[in-house]
Amino acid sequence: MNLRELELFGTLMRVGTTTETARLLGISQPAVSGQLKRLEGRLGMSLFHRTGNRLEPTHEANELFAMAVPIFNTHATIRSRLPTLRDLAEKPVAISATPALVESFLGAVLIRAGYRDWKKRIIMRVHSPEDDLRSGEADIGLQMALPPKAEFQAHALGKIPLVALLPEDHPLAREPELTCAVIAANPLVCYSPDWSPMGNSIRNAFVAQGLSYDPACVVPFCANVCSMVRVCGGVGIVDAMTARDYVMRGLVSRPIPDLPDVSIIAFHRRHEPMRAPVQDLLSALLKFETKLLPELPHSTN
């Protein structure tokens, strides 16, 4: 007996008439009678005796039904769970990303993944991607520099240079490029290495050269660097996407040749099956890995 025949047989056992069975299965009453006759012929035994309008199961039918009860119970459980699973499949993908990636990077990915004109829904969090994934608030995290925890599966999407940001009237603005040593000798606007992956990457580069990483102004996001340098001066460090898209009037950027590029990383919880829409968006991120990053200038005037 295949599953369709089991469903027919189990329904007949429960309701006792071909008419009600036809209604429940969404087929005609003659179709029920025909399928039952063919099933009995293939099994080589009678399953029901007709008594008036009802079908009375034979001893063999009762034995068969008793063996099949676990299958029917499993089927009922599956049917009851389907609405919940369907709702879960339709739940918007939740992304947690750092501001620079939301503002300068993610749009191209979403367009290629079918989100243009918001044909699909998404939940966007601009927070701490690692914390949001750990708490279940996000499905995919996006940040610059590798997540340090083994609990995440990380995918490198590309690399972005870091640049120095300074007022256009700053003495260093005349230089075509700046080194970490030169930057370290000036008031620095940058990120805390204790919670910012980019800040940690910059500190490591400074320490590797024997330089002190001690920002005069610690900010959470790249956009804050732009604002603070514009208002109070000093030298800031931002990614080249922010320098390209959000540098304010009165500021210039210069390349830092001895500061390593930072990686753009997509990551998710390791060893945890993904919902279909989450996998689709992750596939879009990986599929367009070489196309997502625009040409970035090493200097912005």
- What is the per-residue pLDDT across 77-90, written as a single tens digit (0 to 9) for each? 998 999 888 888 88
**What distance in Å separates the CA atoms of residue 250 and residue 257, rounded to the nearest whole number?**
23
**How far apart, in whole angstroms, are the C-alpha atoms of residue 287 and residue 301?**
33
Q: pTM of this prediction?
A: 0.71
Segment holding 75, helix H or strand E: helix 59-90
What is the Cα–Cα distance from 73 to 161, expressed in whole angstroms?
59
The stretches in the chain having pLDDT less than 50 are 290-301
Instruction: Tell me the pLDDT tens digit for each residue of 99-125.
Output: 888 888 888 889 888 899 998 999 999
Say what the pLDDT of residue 22 is: 94
Residue 148: per-residue pLDDT: 65
Name residue, tokens 């959000």: 246
Strand positions, DSSP E, 60-209:
93-97, 122-125, 140-144, 152-160, 162-167, 188-190
Nearest-angstrom CA–CA distance, 214 and 211 = 9
Task: Give the largest CA-CA distance in the chain.
Answer: 103
Output the pLDDT for position 41.
92
* pLDDT score for 298: 40
CB 165 within 8 A of CB 190: no
